[in-house]
């Protein structure tokens, strides 16, 4: 009887502790101010599902982050084109929430497998925290690579439009504006529109071009902006300089496509060796086995 009472008491205490924790967490989330996203891009679906947790983690972490960390995170978001989706503080909040989600997922798997070892829980805590913390960085790296591929693809087209506009009598600002109107949609068009907004707001063209190069952090864009800044300083002809840039970028795009085509057979070797060739050998071995049985060898 005493044992049953102890078990019931322990169960009530555990349930009360869980309820109090849930009540405290709910109250804390209610007190966290909503993030102002009126001037930011819509969140992806995955981020929308966990955004209250990210917002709460950001509220706790933001006052404790140093300016150096925030500047580095801002540069990472800019190069990936996600600086209008997340701010640097929210990126750190996302990393903390990601670490907690991965750890909870690993612990759930251990519970389903009935593995109650303290060493396993500690190992999954460390591994899950590291993976969850690094996942936003991996996501931003993938977004940056995808963005750079689109920029390299579209840059020669934009340069051709700018060259035609400049040779028709427009200045460089008018040429960039015509290129954004007529060129393909994508990250490069967004960056050119951002460049135009900076110049219309009163920023000097050289400074706006430098900011564009810093945001994109690509040698092709740095070369383009450097050419425009140098042409402004020395009064050189923009048409000829930009035509050379367009030809060079188009040649680089062709060489990159040729390089990827040459790498395709090498990349295909691993799946062929691991999956395709073993099936062929098994198929041939089966008929060799049947033939040996017919000949009486086996």
Structure confidence by residue, pLDDT tens digits, 147-161: 998 998 888 888 888
Instruction: Classify residue 112 by burial, with Cβ atoms within 10 Å: 0-12, 13-18, 19+.
Output: exposed
The pLDDT assigned to 101 comes to: 92
277/285 Cα distance (integer angstroms): 12
Q: Is the pTM of this model over 0.95?
A: no
Taking only the tens place, the pLDDT of each residue in 159-190 is 888 888 888 888 888 888 988 988 888 899 99
Considering the chain, what is the average pLDDT of its residues?
Answer: 83
211-217 average pLDDT score:
89
Taking only the tens place, the pLDDT of each residue in 101-124 is 999 898 888 888 877 778 888 898
The pLDDT assigned to 21 comes to: 62
CA angle, residues 59, 63, 65, in degrees to nearest 5: 110
279-294 average pLDDT score:
83
The rounded percent of the chain whose pLDDT value lies above 90 is: 17
User: How big is the chain by its Cα radius of gyration, in Å?
Assistant: 29
Q: Is the pLDDT of residue 41 over 80?
A: no
Tokens of 138: 């991996």
188/160 Cα distance (integer angstroms): 14
The pLDDT assigned to 24 comes to: 59
The pLDDT assigned to 111 comes to: 82
Q: Is the pLDDT of residue 236 over 90?
A: no
204-233 average pLDDT score:
87
């Amino acid at each position: 009887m005493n044992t049953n009472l102890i078990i019931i008491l322990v169960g009530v205490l555990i349930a009360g502790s869980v309820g109090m924790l849930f009540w405290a967490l709910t109250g804390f989330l209610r007190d966290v101010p909503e993030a102002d996203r009126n001037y930011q891009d819509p969140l992806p679906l995955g981020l929308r599902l966990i955004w209250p947790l990210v917002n709460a983690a950001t509220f706790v972490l933001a006052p404790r982050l140093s300016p150096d960390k925030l500047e580095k995170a801002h540069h990472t978001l800019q190069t990936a084109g996600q600086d209008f989706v997340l701010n640097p503080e929210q990126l750190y909040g996302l990393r903390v929430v990601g670490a907690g989600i991965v750890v909870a997922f690993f612990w759930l798997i251990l519970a389903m497998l009935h593995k109650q070892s303290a060493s396993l829980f500690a190992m999954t805590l460390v591994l899950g925290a590291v993976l969850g913390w690094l996942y936003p960085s991996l996501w931003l790296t993938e977004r940056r690579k995808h963005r750079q591929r689109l920029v390299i693809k579209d840059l020669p087209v934009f340069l051709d439009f700018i060259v035609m506009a400049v040779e028709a009598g427009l200045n460089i600002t008018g040429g960039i504006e015509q290129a954004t109107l007529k060129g393909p949609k994508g990250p490069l068009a967004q960056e050119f529109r951002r460049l135009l907004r900076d110049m219309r707001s009163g920023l000097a063209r050289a400074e706006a071009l430098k900011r564009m190069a810093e945001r994109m952090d690509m040698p092709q864009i740095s070369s383009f902006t450097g050419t425009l800044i140098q042409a402004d300083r020395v009064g050189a002809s923009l048409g000829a300089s930009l035509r050379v840039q367009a030809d060079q970028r188009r040649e680089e795009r062709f060489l990159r496509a040729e390089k990827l085509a040459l790498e395709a057979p090498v990349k295909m070797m691993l799946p062929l060796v691991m999956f395709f060739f073993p099936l062929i050998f098994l198929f041939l071995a089966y008929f060799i086995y049947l033939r040996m049985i017919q000949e009486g060898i086996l």
